[in-house]
Amino acid sequence: SAVEETFAERFTDQQEYANLIRQLSEKPSVRQVTLVNTKNGKRWHELSIRTCRDAATGDQAWLISEVDVSELKRAEARALHLASHDVLTELPNRKYVMEHFPIALEQARYKQQQAALLLLDLDDFKYINESMGHAVGDSLLIEVAKRLQTLGQEKLLARLSGDQFLVLLLVE
């Protein structure tokens, strides 16, 4: 029907729409969070859909409830980012290193790439914080992070702790 076609067009991923229709054929209600097209652009909506009968015609119908959860999805993504990244430099943190560096090393081994693992520790960094203040120390750490990001295309970079950085360089 025209209503079903209009509803299908709202989905940004037609495979998700097809899965939703399949689920509704198997059970009376479905709840799903999906990216939909709205007049305000693409937004995350939680859909609750229940099959029912139209009161006037008796035809098969859907009762659909939608809630915009875009802000919640953004907050969730931000929380995930903060869990694995340093707030000051925006570089990956120790947690990220523990999860991703072993995978990167395994991939490098598989591709027969050479790898160099560098640990950079800024000597006497605490004296900068003590003598010039934490704002200057923070600025220095941000600048070090920026300069390390210029080390080439194939690298993983992280801030491990206050003045320690880890760089994994990969070479073909």
Q: How, if at all, do strands 164-171 and 155-161 pair?
A: antiparallel
Given 68, 86, 124, 163, which residue is catalytic? 163
Alpha-carbon distances of 160 from 17, 79, 96, 104, 107, rounded to whole Å: 43, 19, 10, 17, 22
Instruction: Examine the residue annotation and report whether 86 is marked as an active-site residue of this protein.
Output: no
In whole angstroms, what is the distance from residue 79 CA to residue 144 CA? 25
Contact 152, 169 (CB under 8 A): yes
Q: Which residues are catalytic?
A: 163
